[in-house]
């Protein structure tokens, strides 16, 4: 803080306190105020002798273009004290036109700009030598475009001729006139906006018919917004259904491939079912060709290895009349001859 007190005649903390208002009396700078050239100011001045730069304007609807111009003015020299003059409503309405902000609002806007050290209220439209001497102004900062007003082609012409003018650069694409043009161009939009926010038609200077029209348009816009919201939700739902359908189709395809593969593995040319049928048909064939087992009540008999099993035993009357057939071939021959004799 001590270093800050030595560097500027009106010490203040930029982020806590706004800039001061200029006094009606002359500058109270204690250092001798000698005339400076631009070269001397650029080389640097003593701490107690800052270069006093003056910038003036209307500063209506204070915007970034204003702030950048003041930043350039503040950084023209190593040790700069920036004074900003703001013209009153009376002068502005007389020479330039109606303003959106009042003079008090414009004063306060400048006070809270970080580059401003002091604000001069009710600044003159044309700078006079008396005004420059009163505030001990070394240089005047403004853009180099001739400013024609109050019957003069350039109100800064005499300042330029005196070697006290330092030019700054305008910021393209932003100005108070541009902002007002946007508002006028989209008047209906902003009127509807403020009606929706609670302003009355009287405050907005809107007729009864236009008020009803704007309110109807606001209702239509709200309905459109609801429809748009429903459409977005529907799209989201459809997307989810499509994702689920895609997953289901993919799973169905996988299950179908698995089912077809299992079917071919079971019933295909080399499938398991064919092998099972072959095994079963082989077992049935072997069962058909194999001898039948004797009844449980009949006594076991020894079979000849060269003969197939004998037919079932005849009824009991034949069983008592004739003996069992012999097992040898010779017995078989005699058995066949006996059978022929019986038939005869």
**Model confidence pLDDT, tens digit, residues 209-259:** 888 888 888 888 888 888 888 888 888 888 888 888 888 888 888 888 888
Q: State residue 33 phi and psi, 5-degree precision.
A: -95, 95
Given the structure tokens 């019986």, which residue do they identify?
342
Structure tokens at 280: 């079963």
pLDDT in tens, 293-331: 555 555 555 544 444 455 555 544 444 444 454 444 444
Does the pTM surpass 0.75? The reply is no
Where do the domains of the chain lie, and which CATH numbers do they carry? 20-168 (3.40.50.620), 176-268 (no CATH)
Q: What is the pLDDT of residue 241?
A: 85
H helix intervals, 268-309: 272-289
pLDDT in tens, 247-291: 888 888 888 888 887 777 777 676 676 677 777 777 777 777 666
Of 84 and 339, more confident: 84
Q: What is the pLDDT of residue 179?
A: 94
**Helix 208-267 vs helix 272-289: crossing angle, to nearest 10:** 30
Q: What is the pLDDT of residue 206?
A: 85
Question: How far, CA to CA in Å, does 126 sit from each of 38, 54, 120, 147, 153?
Answer: 22, 13, 14, 11, 12
Of 186 and 5, more confident: 186
What SS3 class is residue 86? strand
Burial 73-82, CB ≥16 within 10 A → b, else e:
bbebbeebbb
């Amino acid at each position: 803080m001590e270093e800050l007190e030595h560097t500027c005649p009106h010490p203040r903390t930029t982020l806590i306190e706004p800039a001061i208002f200029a006094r009606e009396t002359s500058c109270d700078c204690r250092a001798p105020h000698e005339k400076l050239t631009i070269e001397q100011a650029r080389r640097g001045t003593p701490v107690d002798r800052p270069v006093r730069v003056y910038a003036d304007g209307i500063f209506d609807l204070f915007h970034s273009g204003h702030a950048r111009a003041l930043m350039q003015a503040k950084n023209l020299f190593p040790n700069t004290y920036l004074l900003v003059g703001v013209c009153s409503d009376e002068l502005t309405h007389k020479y330039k036109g109606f303003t959106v902000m009042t003079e008090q609002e414009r004063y306060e806007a400048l006070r809270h700009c970080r580059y401003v050290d002091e604000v001069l209220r009710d600044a003159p439209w044309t700078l006079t030598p008396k005004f420059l001497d009163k505030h001990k102004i070394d240089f005047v900062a403004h853009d180099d475009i001739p400013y024609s007003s109050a019957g003069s082609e350039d109100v800064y012409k005499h300042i330029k001729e005196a070697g006290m003018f330092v030019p700054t650069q305008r910021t393209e694409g932003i100005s108070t006139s541009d902002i007002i043009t946007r508002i006028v161009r989209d008047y209906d939009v902003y009127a509807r906006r403020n009606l929706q926010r609670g302003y009355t038609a009287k405050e907005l200077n809107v007729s009864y018919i236009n008020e009803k029209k704007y309110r109807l348009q606001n209702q239509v816009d709200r309905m459109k917004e609801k429809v748009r919201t429903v459409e977005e939700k529907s799209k989201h739902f459809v997307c989810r259904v499509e994702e689920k359908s895609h997953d289901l189709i993919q799973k169905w395809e996988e299950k179908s491939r698995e089912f077809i593969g299992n079917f071919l593995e079971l019933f295909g040319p080399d499938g398991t079912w064919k092998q099972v049928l072959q095994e079963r048909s082989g077992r049935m064939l072997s069962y058909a060709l194999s001898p039948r087992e004797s009844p449980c009540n009949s006594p076991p008999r020894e079979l000849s290895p060269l003969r197939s099993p004998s037919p079932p035993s005849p009824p009991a009357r034949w069983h008592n009349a004739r003996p069992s057939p012999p097992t040898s071939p010779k017995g078989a021959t005699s058995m066949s001859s006996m059978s022929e004799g019986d038939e005869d």
